[in-house]
Amino acid sequence: MAKNNAVAGFNALNGVELNLFTTDELKAIHYATMEVLMNPGVQVSDPEARQIFKENGCDVDEKTNVVKIPEYLVRRALQLAPSRFVLWGRDKKHNTVQEAGGKVHWTCFGTGVKVCKYQDGKYVTVDSVEQDIADIAKLCDWAENIDYFALPVSARDVAGTGAQDVHETFTPLTNTAKHFHHIDPVGENVEYYWDIAKAYYGGDEE
């Protein structure tokens, strides 16, 4: 059973709504964005990503790595993207439903490299370590207003060991029953994280 939170923009006393732009302003931003994606385009450094763009109808310049994305492709991608999905927690009661135009959710987004601690009557700022990740994960696990856990700080005490990502994956998994959102831009690492999660959960069955 997923949690039920307040609805963004719903016309009720329990709703949460924040209007920063008018409908016309949003349209103007959209049209300007579509224009930039097509001309001048965006620079994509990854060869595999450029190939995917090319196969799907984008104009790709291999000399400059610039990809020009037509508006119809953006619209098609939005149509094919799921409007609703579940962030699964280790405990099902912490499952979080993400929905387009839906409910408001909260997390502890990061990733920082320093923490401020209260020691001997004063505040000190120090490098974050793996234990900080564990402590924050336990706090977020307890806090009812935090829906899922995102890596808040870095394990600087294991930086340069070649295993920092492993520590930053396993430590949250073992210290919160909520969904864990890892922050890593390297797609190739996902399979390794999946193996770690399966090993901890005892398999990939529900």
Give CA–CA dist 176/89, Å, rounded. 9
Name the more confident of 122 and 199: 122
Nearest Cα to 75, choosing from 105, 37, 40?
37
Confidence class of residue 31 from pLDDT cuts 50, 70 and 90? very high
Confidence class of residue 90 from pLDDT cuts 50, 70 and 90? confident
> Among 76-80, 160-164, 178-182, 184-188, which stretch is predicted with the lowest mean pLDDT?
184-188
pLDDT of residue 205: 64
- Condensed to tens digits (0 to 9), the pLDDT of residues 148-158 reads 999 999 999 99
> Among 44-53, 82-91, 139-148, 184-193, which stretch is predicted with the lowest mean pLDDT?
184-193
In sequence order, the 6+-apart residues with CB closer than 8 A to the CB of 51 are none
- Considering Cα of 146, then 150, then 155, then 158, what sign does the dihedral take? positive
Q: What is the mean pLDDT of the chain?
A: 88
Residue 1 has pLDDT above 60, yes or no: no
Residues 173-177: contacts with CB within 8 Å, 24+ apart? Answer: 173/90, 173/197, 173/200, 174/134, 174/200, 175/133, 175/134, 175/137, 175/138, 175/141, 176/90, 176/137, 176/138, 176/140, 176/141, 176/149, 177/89, 177/90, 177/91, 177/94, 177/141
Query: Buried b / exposed e across 31-60, counting CB within 10 Å, b at 16+?
Result: eeebeebbeebeebeeeeebeebeeeebeb
Name the more confident of 205 and 41: 41
Q: Write out the DSSP string of 95-115.
A: -EEEETT-B---B----BSEE
First to last CA, the chain: 14
Nearest Cα to 134, choosing from 109, 168, 97?
168
The pTM (predicted TM-score) of the whole model is: 0.73
